Amino acid sequence: MVELVIDTDPGVDDARAIMLAQAHPDAKIYALTTVGGNVGVDQTTANACVLLDALGVAPDRTPIYRGAGTGLLAVQYDGAYFHGADGFGNNNFLPSSRRVEGEHAVNALVRMANERPGELTLAAIGPLTNLALATRLDPALPHKFKRLVIMGGTIRGTGNNRRNPSAEFNAYMDPEAMAIVFETWQDFWLVSWETTLHHQLEPAQVEQLMSVNTPRGKFWAQLTRESLEYVTKRMGRPGLLMPDEIALAIAVEPEIVTKSEHRYMSMELRGEHTRGQTTVDWFNLTGRAPNAHVVLEINKERFIELLMASAQ
């Protein structure tokens, strides 16, 4: 059983990623920790509650801890243009009355890792602010999680950020935090924006997923509809990009990775056009020890199966 802590900024793809993990027979979501990113942290936390309600998760099964509201150096930017002003595709779901824990997400990350050393898998699918702060609080944290899977960064400078197009969103939102994680964690798995593009869904797969006629499937489609229109307009054909879902698929089924390289990754903090871009030392030119398992390919068939199961 993979026991997961998911650090997240829901977010349409975050929500679908959590659905994927929740539907997996060999995974248990141990806790959610929220962070500001796609929209503000009040809204991402409220969305986490709405999501667990929609999935019928018992109130005492998966605690939600609210985390950092801005990056270490606050940036005035968010992903509402894509995820909707509510972060959930402008569906304006009714607010949930689910309890949010009083403990801050950063403290909760440290506590959970210390209570269960070596047992929990951490999937970080938002800006890395909570994780960087938790690592500063407990520098031994990287040895206390079983595995870390990150969605964030670019590996060849092809980003999705409107201000710095070579940066990926999560990296751009808190470059200092990602720099701290890159310096302090040695063995993480990283899903980049380019790897996300490489695994774009085909129109037929999108149609299949959008037409699952169950309450869960309808919720999946409802979340997705507006961003699908956005992607379709930009790409000229229906297609969906699944950054956080890929990260969660790797967290629950490590063997889904079919191609990866263990490389040293670093973060650009100063560039006028490139702040937030991550770089990969593909040929070990710096001689620095690798910190990242850079994911290049996953088993797409299996991924589609996991997505389909998550929408059933």
Does position 125 bind Ca ion by CB under 5 A? yes
Does position 174 bind ligand BDR by CB under 6 A? no
- Out of Ca ion, ligand BDR, none, what residue 243 binds, judged by CB under 5 to 8 A for its kind, is ligand BDR
Any alpha helices (H) in 24-116, and if so which ranges? Answer: 41-54, 80-83, 105-115
Does position 128 bind Ca ion by CB under 5 A? no
CA separation for the pair 305, 297 (Å, rounded): 16
Does position 11 bind ligand BDR by CB under 6 A? yes
Residue from 120, 125, 251, 280 in contact with ligand BDR (CB under 6 A): 125
Q: Is 260 exposed, middle or buried (0-12, 13-18, 19+ CB in 10 A)?
A: middle
Q: Is 198 exposed, middle or buried (0-12, 13-18, 19+ CB in 10 A)?
A: middle
Residue number with the shortest CB distance to ligand BDR? 169
Of 231-260, which residues contact Ca ion (CB under 5 A)? 244
Residue from 29, 151, 251, 306 in contact with ligand BDR (CB under 6 A): 151
- Out of ligand BDR, Ca ion, none, what residue 169 binds, judged by CB under 5 to 8 A for its kind, is ligand BDR
Coil, helix or strand for 125? coil
Coil, helix or strand for 140? coil
CA separation for the pair 92, 79 (Å, rounded): 16
Does position 14 bind ligand BDR by CB under 6 A? yes
Does position 170 bind ligand BDR by CB under 6 A? yes
Q: Which residues contact 111 (CB under 8 A, 6 or more apart)?
A: 103
Distance in Å, CB of 305 to Ca ion, minimum:
22
Does position 47 bind ligand BDR by CB under 6 A? no
